[in-house]
Amino acid sequence: MEHALNDWSLEVSQMELEDNGTLTVTFEDNSLDSQQKYTNPLSLHFDSDRLQEFITTTNVYRSLESEFKSVMELSGELVTIVNKEGTVERVSSNCKKIMGLAVDEFVGRSIYDMERLGVITLSSSKKVLETLKEVQMTQRTRGDRRLFVRGIPLFNESGSLEKVINFSRDITEESNLQERLREREFEINVLLQEVQRSHSGKNLLVSKAAEIEKVTHLLNKVAQTDATVLFLGETGVGKSAFAKHLHELSPRRAAPFIQLNCAVLPDQLVESELFGYAKGSFTGANQQGKKGLIEAAAGGTLFLDEIGELNLQTQTKLLQVLQEKTFTPIGKTEPVKVDVRFVAATNRDLEEMVETGAFRRDLYYRINVVPVLIPSLRERTEDIPMLIHHFTDKFNGEYKRTCSFSRDAIDRLINYRWPGNVRELENMIEQLVITAPAEVIKVSDLPQKVQRCKEQINLFKGSFKEQMQTHEREILQDALKEAKNLNEIAEKLKIDVSTISRKLKKHGLKLQ
């Protein structure tokens, strides 16, 4: 049956594109005469480029493309779509602002090339293509922006990876703020330590022990000079309190006393804290620059606690300050002259570190002008009752209590070995004042490790000779825990190595 063309009502019912570029289209004739309906297949051949052009000019495609672009721009994040070969297919328009590249400079590029050229440090797309899993990471761009990136794999119906979509959030300013916050927290901590030392340092130096009297006598002599003092001793013996005491005895007492614990800061921060830096010296730096602790301590004392933790690079720069009394802040070229007294402390064996190359020999000689060994608390047990009363009064005031210790409880505390020294004693007294059920702290309130001290003492029964043998064995056991070799034990106990060897054999003991 024939129809005029304008009488036909044709609808496309099916389209199928062959590999050779042939497009088969099936039309359905819905003419005005509803009794006559039929379908005719029509095969058309398109050049692939022409076909792509045809598809992209359709209204449906243009509408979808517009919606897709809007979605990519709405989040405010950098959105990147990469194909399975690792080539960037799409990127949001904020590419220039975040990556430093225009959209047309980014699209069509290989992620492997961009990583190799330093456009980005680590490619999230590369990681997704390798693992076939979602990844989250931090990237740094060539423009020194920091990005938090989430890479998501997209799979087709057969389960094969088709594309990778990345959402990148610029966290540069957030990171800078966090860095400045860490700096302020550190400065506040320094000030708090200063306040705490000014209130408690003198009390810790009150002592009945002859060893402490020797230390304070030496400090009285050294304080009037600018000689560098190196405090040695176990962790918790109060080296910082003695350093503060030295400062207060010196002609520099009216100037600042600044302390830096070299063990609490990462290597990259220690140097900037010590020497300071110029404006814009590095990413995350304070926009106005920063004065270092050496300069802040001008006219006063800089106390470097745990100096054995400094890395070799910082040791080299510190040596220059000690030798020439000048230093150069990070990002500056002109040296700064300073008048500072240096005091250091460590619980490490610096001589051994020198031999292994972990500490500069010339710096060791520079800081070890006047070595001062602070005895451990177990070497001055006569001071323990006085310190118990001091710390009890301190924490009674802080926590609004009126606690005291029974005589038996004090005896147990005296007999305890105190591996953490004065710091451990202070922390334990604070805990007991807070938690004690009654105003009088008894033996039963003490930690189990302290309560057991009485049981150990009760082992000393029998003849004088038997008790001495038991005591000798315990001394050797303690020495073995603390020393690394027989020479060190002999030096501490002031007896010959041969005697140590014989006694260890007699008691069936040996170095671990």
Separation of alpha carbons 321 and 271, rounded Å: 13
Residue 332 lies in a domain: yes
Residue type, 253: R
Residue 511 lies in a domain: no
Are 147 and 262 part of one and the same domain?
A: no
pLDDT tens over the chain, length 512 residues: 344 444 445 455 555 655 555 555 555 555 544 444 444 554 455 555 555 555 555 555 455 555 556 556 666 688 888 898 989 888 888 877 877 788 888 888 888 888 888 787 778 888 889 899 998 888 887 777 788 888 899 898 888 888 898 888 888 776 666 666 665 665 555 555 555 444 444 445 667 788 888 998 999 999 999 999 999 999 999 999 999 999 999 999 999 999 989 888 777 788 888 888 776 555 555 556 678 888 889 999 999 999 999 999 889 989 989 998 888 887 777 888 889 999 999 999 999 999 999 999 999 999 999 999 999 998 888 899 989 999 999 999 999 999 999 989 999 999 999 999 999 999 999 999 999 999 999 999 999 999 887 644 444 445 556 667 777 777 887 788 777 788 888 888 878 777 888 788 777 777 76
Are 248 and 395 part of one and the same domain?
A: no
Calculated CA dihedral for residues 166, 169, 170, 176, nearest 10 degrees: -130
The answer to whether residues 327 and 286 touch, using CB atoms and an 8 Å cutoff, is: no
Q: Domain with 272 in it: what CATH number?
A: 3.40.50.300
Are 331 and 471 part of one and the same domain?
A: no
Q: Which of 153, 170, 187 is the last residue of a domain?
A: 170
Please provide residue 7's backbone torsions phi and psi, each rounded to the nearest 5 degrees.
-90, -10
Separation of alpha carbons 450 and 468, rounded Å: 23
- Exposure string over 378-417, b if 16+ CB within 10 A, otherwise e: bebeebbbebbebbbebbbeeeeeebbbeeebbbbbbbbb
DSSP code, position 142: T
Structurally, the chain folds into a number of domains equal to 5
**Boundaries of domain holding 256:** 175-373
The answer to whether residues 239 and 376 touch, using CB atoms and an 8 Å cutoff, is: no
Separation of alpha carbons 191 and 33, rounded Å: 95
Residue 116 lies in a domain: yes
Residue 512 lies in a domain: no
Are 282 and 198 part of one and the same domain?
A: yes
Separation of alpha carbons 149 and 316, rounded Å: 38
Strand duo 161-170 + 301-305: pairing: unpaired
Alpha helices in 333-377, H assignment, sequence order: 350-356, 361-367
What are 251's two structure tokens? 């002609």
Q: Domain with 104 in it: what CATH number?
A: 3.30.450.20
Are 301 and 390 part of one and the same domain?
A: no
Q: Domain with 384 in it: what CATH number?
A: 1.10.8.60
Residue 300 lies in a domain: yes
Q: Which of 121, 143, 170 is the last residue of a domain?
A: 170
Separation of alpha carbons 156 and 348, rounded Å: 61
Q: Which of 142, 170, 198 is the last residue of a domain?
A: 170
